[in-house]
Amino acid sequence: MAKGNQSAVTEFILLGLTENPEFQAILFCVFLLIYSFTVLGNLGLIVLIQISPQLHTPMYFFLCHLAFVDFYGASTVTPNTLANSLREIKSMPFYACATQVCCFITFSVWELLMLSVMAYDRYVAICNPLLYVILMPRKLCLQMVTSSYIYGLTVGLVQAVATFHMSFCDSNVVNQFYCDDVPLIALACSDTQVKELMLWIIAGFNVFFSLIIVLISYVFIVFTILKIHSAAGRHKAFSTCASHLFSITMYYGTLSFMYLRPKSSHSLDKDKFASVFYAVVIPMLNPLIYSLRNQDVKKAFKKIFDKAHSDNR
């Protein structure tokens, strides 16, 4: 990162979602409630999967890592947002902002890749059920998850270094409630063409690559489901994908709205409120979606609850 940047800007001021003190108090309570549910939901799901032998399958292995990614992503943004809502001046040191940018981009890529891996897992489970255990061995699952983590971290580091290699000398006020690439690019007083090109190419590639995997997987899944003769069989097969499809729709829709629109149609204020759903709400919703619609998870939870209840008698 350029040394000149440090002498020009040593910290950034985050505008947040509102400057109204009353609304800030309300937002603090709402964000605290959402983050509490996010932590309890995702960590609870991880613990439940780890201690329930019946959930030790590839599907729940990937779901466990999706829960970790959601917990990580929410923790990247929300705690600092809560702290800033209590401050009159919402400042963030230069390197803390750079770290948050890196962590948040890493989270975004991890989420995309985990959803893609889960789509492939559903394809194998539904289209090749008799070979599922053979085609999805634990070693392969570990390799896919590890590759996703390494690639996501690499993208986060590269993008963060490119962002903070630019010069910030005219303003340090970020029109966002966390340090994010797009509003930071708008602040730069040096040439931003290379960084903008990197952002759109890498983000576009990641979304396109992951979406292709999802679409191809679900094309085969739909054809396989349509070949099932019984209505009960079709319903059972579709129910195993419903939660994943809902998560994909929420995440890809919000991500595309934020990052893949033409520059001329960008509004930082619109992006700011869309990012609340993307960065704060979705990590809370995912464990609820997979828990409420999943019979195996509900049975595992009931079994543990009944065991704990009987032990306390």
The per-residue pLDDT for range 192-226, each reduced to its tens digit, is 888 989 988 998 899 889 999 999 999 999 999 88
Task: Classify strands 11-14 and 91-93 as parallel, antiparallel or unpaired.
Answer: antiparallel
264 or 279, higher pLDDT: 279
Question: Looking at residue 270, what is its pLDDT?
Answer: 67
Question: Looking at residue 34, what is its pLDDT?
Answer: 95
Question: Looking at residue 3, what is its pLDDT?
Answer: 41
CA distance 129 to 134: 10
Orientation angle between helical segments 295-311 and 21-51, nearest 10 degrees: 80
Query: What pLDDT band is residue 273 in, cutting at 50, 70 and 90?
Result: confident
162 or 9, higher pLDDT: 162
Query: What pLDDT band is residue 182 in, cutting at 50, 70 and 90?
Result: confident
Phi, psi of 12 (to 5 degrees): -115, 145
Percent of the chain with pLDDT over 70: 89
Question: Looking at residue 302, what is its pLDDT?
Answer: 78
CA distance 242 to 113: 18
DSSP E strand stretches across the chain: 11-14, 91-93, 173-174
pLDDT in tens, 9-36: 788 988 888 777 778 888 899 999 999 9
Question: Looking at residue 267, what is its pLDDT?
Answer: 60
Query: What pLDDT band is residue 46 in, cutting at 50, 70 and 90?
Result: very high
Instruction: Report the candidate in 73, 274, 94 with the shortest Cα–Cα distance to residue 184.
Output: 94
98 or 245, higher pLDDT: 98
Helix (H, G, I), strand (E, B) or coil at 257: helix
CA distance 98 to 179: 8
**Its pTM surpasses 0.85:** yes
- Which range is least confidently modeled, 141-145, 264-268, 285-289? 264-268
96 or 298, higher pLDDT: 96
307 or 38, higher pLDDT: 38
Give mean pLDDT, residues 291-307.
75
Q: Which CATH class is domain 3-311?
A: mainly alpha
260 or 78, higher pLDDT: 78
Instruction: Report the candidate in 113, 109, 127 with the shortest Cα–Cα distance to residue 240.
Output: 127
Query: What pLDDT band is residue 277 in, cutting at 50, 70 and 90?
Result: confident
pLDDT of residue 7 exceeding 50, the answer is no
pLDDT in tens, 100-144: 999 999 999 999 999 999 999 999 999 998 899 899 999 999 999
Query: What pLDDT band is residue 5 in, cutting at 50, 70 and 90?
Result: very low
